Chain A
Amino acid sequence: MTPERKVYKRDVIIEVTAKLMSPLILLFGLYVMIGTGGTGGGFQGGTILATGFILYITVFGSEKGREKVPESVNAFFKSFGLFLYNGAGWICILFSLAAAQWLNMPAFWPVTDFVGIAGARSFMVAYMISVGIGLTVMASFVSQYFDLAWKEDDEMEGDEG
């Protein structure tokens, strides 16, 4: 059932292309996530960011991929993205608790008072949530890719339930 261990020939063209394209894909993903004036958003940007990593992992193999993205880094980014998302809400709840009002995100966002752009308040909230979603999605997809990849020495315990 398991495929035999093959020796993979290193192919210069594919490796160089992957090394060149990965950062560009990551940059594009960042643009889709928080770039101006276009469609996009957290989930879409995060998926493209994940694609950048997955290209590297596909070309170079799981072991070298693991050196670049160990599981603890994945877990950190998953949690950090969620903390950003929740954190946007917690700041509003904390401030609105003090002011005894409903949870009202744009009105209670104190940071953006220092930014001189009109209407920056709602953008800040939207960006923070977007970036949070994007990071979580990126880490989740990369982590799933590692888990779904076929490894030859997967051992599982048998349990008859």
Chain B
Amino acid sequence: MEWLIQHVLEKYNFWVAMLIIIISLTAVIVKENLLKKLIGLSIFQTAMFLWYVSLGDVGRDILTTWGLKTGTPSILWEEAAEKGYIYANPLPNVLMLTGIVVSAATTAVALAIVIRIYQKYGTIEEDEIIEKEMEFEREGGELKNASS
């Protein structure tokens, strides 16, 4: 029971984040619809932000060799050792703000490409797209736009 509390319940943030990461990576790999892959990628990135932000949570006492609450930012470690301060570490939060910007940009680029693929092939299922490319290769003709 002690083991269960120490390794699972104290760190449930991380367990949940890893579970979501695994599920979303499965979605990216398994799903054939291009938009579903993109959704999987977006959830993957979000779950990773959750993992990171949980690192800086107040009172998080794991994975450290100095025996301090790792929520405390590293600038204040000497003070915190003496006086027992507890802060939430702002650094993971700020890093993840930047990460969210990157995630938004990636989603935008991917969506733009998906729209062009739809206009060209008329479908966003990857197996149908590959079929159309195979047809084109066998016939050797021009790959026409789906709308013309």
Contact = CB atoms under 8 A, between A and B. Distances in A.
B145 A144 contact: no
B119 A156 contact: yes
Contacts of B111: 148
Interface residues of A, number: 14
Contacts of A156: 116, 119-120, 145
A158 B145 contact: yes
Contacts of B97: 41, 43
Interface string A131-161: 0000001000000100110100011101010
A129 B120 CA distance: 40
A1 interface: yes
B86 interface: no
Interface in B102-123: 108, 111-112, 115-116, 118-120, 122
Interface in A1-19: 1-2
Given A43-B97, A43-B101, A158 B142 contact: yes
Question: In which size bucket is the chain B interface?
Answer: 20 to 34
A2 B147 contact: yes
A148 B109 CA distance: 10
Contacts of B143: 158, 160
Contact of B147 (A1, A41, A137): A1
Nearest to B111: A148
B15 interface: no
Nearest to A137: B101
Given A148-B108, A158-B120, A160-B142, 18 more contacts: A1-B122, A2-B147, A41-B97, A43-B97, A43-B100, A43-B101, A144-B108, A144-B112, A147-B112, A148-B112, A154-B119, A154-B147, A156-B116, A156-B145, A158-B142, A158-B145, A160-B136, A160-B143
Interface of B: 97, 100-101, 108, 111-112, 115-116, 118-120, 122, 136, 142-148
28 contacts: A1-B119, A1-B122, A1-B146, A1-B147, A2-B147, A41-B97, A43-B97, A144-B112, A147-B112, A148-B108, A148-B111, A148-B115, A150-B115, A154-B119, A154-B147, A155-B145, A155-B148, A156-B116, A156-B119, A156-B120, A156-B145, A158-B120, A158-B142, A158-B143, A158-B144, A158-B145, A160-B136, A160-B142
**Complex A-B, nearest 4 residue pairs according to Cβ-Cβ distance, in ascending order:** A1-B147, A1-B122, A144-B108, A1-B146
